[in-house]
Amino acid sequence: MKFIDTHTDPWRAAGGEDGPQPHPPVRAHSLLTLEQWHAVRETWPADVPAGLVVPNTVDIETLAADLPRLGLLALQFPKWVDGRAYTQARLLRARYRFGGELRATGEVLVDMVPLLARTGFDAAQLRPDQKLDAAQRALGFFPGHYQGDVHQPRPAFARDLPAELAAQRQAAADLAAGQGI
């Protein structure tokens, strides 16, 4: 999971002094609203990375045709108790096989990080009062899960858990080999 520092993030909202520009100019790593995207998608060059801010009220199916052209989808959590963006992320990864970056934005708390990872998010922009080190620790709280998720769709009872654990241990040993650990 990548945690976003807005000061160094290359993705920038396509806005002007008075808010979002109705027809933004073509720039790499532009983060567009849905309205902006609909206004420029026919003329937006395929080789210029574009990102889209997606409210959690949007039916993901309406974006299916545009997904190959998008490098980033910023899914919004307007309140930390509103989990519709989890469903959007799971659909994007499992059903539509979206391979770009899925970013959680808005009221993103440390407690949400493990579920963000399980539902397909690979980046999060934490709420300003949340601590980065706590979020990184939260990713290690649960080493495994009984239910399936976007990374391992089969539940635990349908997998060979001893073989998985042995493979994980071997991978860790291989990584440490030759490092004096």
The Cα 100–Cα 46 span in angstroms is 14
Non-local (6+) Cβ contacts of 87 within 8 A are 119
pLDDT at 168: 79
How many helices (DSSP H) and strands (DSSP E) are in the chain?
A: 5, 9
Whole-number pLDDT of residue 56:
93
Residue 180 confidence (pLDDT): 59
pLDDT of residue 146: 65
pTM: 0.81
Q: What is the pLDDT of residues 8-23, one digit of tens each?
A: 999 988 876 676 777 8
Q: What is the total residue count of the chain?
A: 181
pLDDT number for residue 110: 92
Which residue ranges in the chain fall short of pLDDT 50? none
- In the predicted model, what is the mean pLDDT of the chain? 88
**Res 181: pLDDT:** 57
Q: Indicate the DSSP class of residue 95.
A: I
From the number of C-beta atoms within 10 Å of its C-beta (0-12, 13-18, 19+), residue 56 rates as: middle
Determine the Cα–Cα distance for residues 56 and 79; give it in Å rounded to an integer.
10
58/67 Cα distance (integer angstroms): 14
